[in-house]
Chains A and B, each alone.
Chain A
Amino acid sequence: MAAPTGIKSPTRARIAARTLRTDRWWLYPTFTALVLLAFVVYATYRAFVGEHYFAEPYLTPFYSPCVTTECVEGSSHLGTWVGDWWPLSPAVLILVIPLSLRLTCYYYRKAYYRSFWMSPPACAVGEPHRRYTGETRFPLILQNIHRYALYLALAYNVLLTYDAVMAFKSPEGEWGHMGLGTLILVVNAVLLGLYSLSCHSCRHIIGGRLRNFSKHPVRYRAWGMVSVLNGRHAQLAWASLVWVAFTDFYIWMVASGTWSDPRFF
């Protein structure tokens, strides 16, 4: 039998309990796990279902840009250059980008290491693993690609902003339209944009890597602004996640004819 380690190490105070915390420390990991699981189930279903993702002029963010020949008419703003060789739903091609950003995001790392991997489940609560190598080995060493996921996600945000702008066109192609769907897509683009810009890697690239702020006043000011956003990174992560699912759900309901889109003008 292996020698006891961690809080059971022979030199430490001999306390049998894994934790002596009396508060509801399990609430955060449980809630996080439930919300993330619900999102994964919903997003997987919607990504593979391959229908009800476009209701002129609204294209759900899960299928934007729609670039295979399988895409329904009018939904391919960037053309169908991928062709027909892709065997799965066009959404799968796209969702890799936001998925890689969120999987390697410094906030989500905290969230899923605590709630799924229980490493640790909460502060000062013993974790169940015998060994721990952190992010030093494959596959977790790949967390270091976060900045590249950010670059791709920023490009993806440009496309979602384009979709939000196009939502100001009526189904007949005339500018000057605005429905509830337009508003939802605008909020979606803003939230996802703010989430990406508030990212820790973005903060580092903008100015955090500098040794002398005083020699780079413009980058210092930009770093200050990103730092303000960065302080809200967790809230933006949750808000943008929930809103992107809601945006997809709204367009799904409109596209399937379950409800119609209220038109403001």
Chain B
Amino acid sequence: MGYDLKMKVWRGDATGGDLVDYTVPVEEGEVVLDALRRIQATQSGDLAVRWNCKAGKCGSCSTEINGKPRLACMTRLSTFEPGETVTVTPLRTFPVVRDLVTDVSYNYRVAETVPAFAPEPRPADGQYRMQQVDVERGQEFRKCIECFLCQNVCHVIRDHEENKQAFSGPRFFLRYAELEMHPLDTNDRRALAREQAGIGLCNITKCCTEVCPEGIHITDNAIIPMKERVVDRSFDPVTWLGRKIFRRDQLPEAQVPQGRAE
């Protein structure tokens, strides 16, 4: 059964903007993105909204809906009370381009600074082999669709623009963890996680986990394990002594990719 949905949509660009009221007819079972596209089709043809797969897999339609970072295509209108006004704004951590579209290139710059997978040399038969348990461990991390909702909600950069220089954010701690836990990888990224990615800035308030549309346990399975690995390397005198005795401190550590560091 259809009804009229009241919406407030932020319209504007970097020079200014405001929440604009809309009333849009919607149908049962629709999502916020459907309502936005109907506004675009019937009322404001110039409304800028980024979307692609409409199935929660491309990560394009990240917005803030009633103040919460969410995918517009995965937010059902039935989650709101009847008569409730739905407010949609762009992500508030990144520079706005226009209306609901933001410039997320900060994330791509950070991505370039994460040392790539560096596998050990192939065995004589040329085939890498991994056991199933080791394969499964990283699967959760590879579910990331790069919607950057975790980056957007992280208060370290959301509330402190200056920290963008020193902090990589949850999405990239996920990447660090994925590579650090990979049995074939040879890089040691613990020093970089602390010094370049700024993992010490994270205070574990778990907002990244709360907003992840893929349900990845970012904090418990990636950030905290990375923090513990950093403790192993930098703050634990017992493991420090062990590294000295077994001369593991002479193993090479990962370097920031040439010419990519900010």
Looking at the assembled complex, report how far the CB atom of B230 sits from the nearest CB atom of chain A, in whole angstroms: 8
Contact of A131 among B12, B96, B160, B180 (CB under 8 A): B160
Q: Which residues from A are CB-within-8-Å of B89?
A: 13, 15, 20
**B134 contacts which chain A residues (CB < 8 A)?**
212-214
Whether B204 pairs with A110 at a CB distance below 8 angstroms is yes
Docked complex: B72-118 residues within 8 A CB-CB of A: 84, 87, 89-90, 92-96, 102
What's the minimum C-beta distance from A214 to chain B, rounded to whole angstroms?
3
B104 to chain A, nearest CB (A): 12
- Distance, CA A64 to CA B67, complexed state (A): 48
Would B155 and A213 count as touching, CB distance under 8 A?
no
B143 CB → nearest A CB, Å: 18
Main DSSP-derived SS at the B contact region: mixed
- The reply to whether the CB of B17 lies closer than 8 angstroms to some CB of chain A is yes
> Which A residues from 121 to 151 make CB contacts under 8 A with B?
123-127, 129, 131-136, 140-141, 144-147
Say yes or no for A19: interface residue by CB 8 A criterion: yes
- In the assembled complex, B254 has its CB within 8 A of some CB on chain A: no
- Docked complex Cα distance between A136 and B14 (Å): 33
- Could you tell me if A135 and B231 are in contact, using CB atoms closer than 8 angstroms? no
CB-based contact A7/B92 at 8 Å: yes
Contact with A120, one of B95, B198, B207, B232 (Cβ below 8 angstroms): B207
Decide: B137 and A5 in contact? CB cutoff 8 A. no
- B92→A127 contact, CB < 8 A: no
Q: Are A120 and B155 also in contact (CB < 8 A) when A12-B96, A135-B201 are?
A: yes
Tell me if A22 and B67 are in contact (CB < 8 A): yes
Q: Is B10 an interface residue (CB 8 A)?
A: yes
- Interface check A209, CB cutoff 8 A: yes
Whether the Cβ atoms of B10 and A124 lie closer than 8 Å is no
Within 8 A of B (CB), among A209-225: 209, 211-214, 220
> Contact between B94 and A12 (Cβ–Cβ < 8 Å)?
yes
Q: What is the chain A residue whose CB lies nearest that of B228?
A: A204
Given contact pairs A5-B159, A7-B158, A7-B159, A213 touches B137 in the complex (Cβ within 8 A): yes
Q: Which of B160, B205, B228 contacts A200 (CB 8 A)?
A: B228
A230 CB within 8 Å of chain B: yes
- Which residues on A sit within 8 Å (CB–CB) of B52? none
Interface residues as binary, B216-256 with A (CB distance below 8 Å gives 1, 0 otherwise): 00001000110111011011100000000000000000000
B7 CB–A CB distance under 8 Å: no
The smallest C-beta distance from B183 to any residue of chain A, in angstroms, reads 5
| Contact status B220-A120, CB under 8 Å | no
A102 at the interface (CB under 8 A from B): no
Bound CA span A10–B231, Å: 37
Does B193 belong to the interface (CB within 8 Å)?
no
Q: Does B6 interact with chain A (Cβ within 8 Å)?
A: no
Give chain A nearest CB distance to B195 CB in angstroms: 10
Using an 8 Å CB-CB cutoff, how does the interface string of B199-212 with A read, 1 for contact, 0 for none?
A: 01111111100110
A263 within 8 A of B: no
A5–B93 CA distance with the chains assembled, in angstroms: 10
Report whether A119 and B231 are in contact in the complex, using a CB–CB cutoff of 8 Å.
Answer: no
Chain B residues whose CB sits within 8 angstroms of the CB of A9 once the complex forms: 161
Q: For B90, list chain A residues within 8 Å (CB).
A: 13
Would you call A21 an interface residue if the criterion is a C-beta within 8 Å of the partner chain's C-beta atoms?
A: yes
Knowing A15-B89, A21-B67 touch, does A120 contact B205 (C-beta < 8 A)?
yes
A201 is an interface residue with CB less than 8 A from chain B: yes
Q: Which residues of A contact B130 (CB under 8 A)?
A: 214
Q: Which residues of A contact B69 (CB under 8 A)?
A: 123-124
A212 to B184, CA, bound (A): 9
Q: Which residues of A contact B182 (CB under 8 A)?
A: 211
Contact between chains at A5 and B161 (CB < 8 Å):
yes
6 A-B pairs in the complex with CB atoms less than 8 angstroms apart = A13-B10, A22-B66, A119-B155, A123-B210, A204-B225, A220-B133
B interface residues with partner A (beta carbon < 8 Å): 10, 12, 14, 16-17, 19, 64, 66-69, 84, 87, 89-90, 92-96, 102, 130-131, 133-134, 137, 153, 155-156, 158-163, 180-183, 185, 198, 200-207, 210-211, 220, 224-225, 227-229, 231-232, 234-236
**Given A23-B68, A134-B202, A144-B227, 14 other A-B contacts at CB below 8 A?**
A13-B10, A13-B102, A15-B10, A19-B67, A21-B68, A110-B206, A123-B207, A123-B211, A124-B153, A126-B159, A132-B160, A134-B156, A134-B201, A204-B228
* 5 A-B pairs with least C-beta separation: A21-B67, A214-B131, A20-B67, A134-B201, A11-B95
